[in-house]
Amino acid sequence: MEAPTESSENEQNTSAAAQPMSKNAQKRLLKQQRYETKKAEKKAQMKEHKKREAERKRKEWEEKLANVGAEERERLIEQKKELRKARMGKRSEEKGKKIERLQEARISGQNVVIDLEFAHLMNSTELHSLVQQIMYCYAVNGRCAVPAHMWLTGCHGEMQNELLRIPGYDKWIIEKEDRSYVEAFQDQKENLVYLTADSENILDELDPKAIYIIGGLVDRNRWKGITMKKAKEQGIRTAKLPIGNYLKMSSSQVLTVNQVVEILLKFMETKDWKDSFFQVIPQRKRCEAGTEDNAEEFAREASHEEEDEQMPGRQDEADINEGEDGQKIGSVEGQDSVSKEEQKAKRQCIET
């Protein structure tokens, strides 16, 4: 039998990506398009505002120098140089420490993989949303005192092209594999664990030897159960986060891929699932505590959640489909905004 050609594979991928969307999915797409338009307008306004501010400060500086004598002018200029030098030194020191942490994680850190083999099932908008999530995951990991050893597997084709558009991506301290995770870890297949809400196995502890896999797929509910099916076919273990043991997710609210990564990072630091969930999952995505015993405590903690909304990992741009306990760690939904935290993450990625 003749082997399938590259063109035939592309046709299959195109037809899969072009699968008709439901009415709800179309509404979400229209909402996303309206948001993108507003975001572009806001970005242009912010750019113009920064330009005006820079011009205002420049004029103030020139006027200040013009109104003092030569000796005072020299002193002010020298003082400004010293302040700039101190800022650059501090930034360089912080960057150096971050690089050290990430390099150390490559040797002894917890392996966390983002599976990018679903790229052919997504359109360009969905791919872009997934890239935003990956960028945020990298930035959050870099800020952690105990970062994970991050991997991107199945990174090729259009997915790779999207990632290469990120300024500074070539300098990221992260493993970039065009091979699948099965090939990349062929000698450690017994340690592979796919995180999916369809699993019956609850993840009580993180095994240092385990390699935890998070599926990257903006599926708009078209590909339910695909990560569980993939793991079964490959004969690898599966697990799900114990969210249901500590809280209940509100109706049709989901976790983002970066939130799942951040939950794992928080647990690595605190060894406390409940604390990790409450620090990362926004209040609007929670409806009540998992048991009556902790309902009162849930209410107390929920009162502080407005502040938590401003913390890293509180975005809605790529949602993960829910499982029975409101958790899905296999696919992302790209529909909402790029937050201020993500813009900060973007700057940190570029600096690295």
Angle (CA) 107-111-114 rounded to 5° is 135
Catalytic-residue membership of 219: yes
The dihedrals phi and psi of 142, each to the nearest 5 degrees, come to -65, -25
Among candidates 251, 257, 268, 196, which has minimal Cα distance to 229?
196
Among candidates 330, 302, 306, 332, which has minimal Cα distance to 317?
332
CB burial of residue 79 (10 Å; 0-12, 13-18, 19+): exposed
Contacts of 286 (CB under 8 A, 6+ apart): 247, 248, 249, 250, 253, 298, 302
Contacts of 162 (CB under 8 A, 6+ apart): 127, 128, 130, 131
Which of 170, 187, 207, 219 is an active site residue?
219
Residues acting as catalytic residues: 219
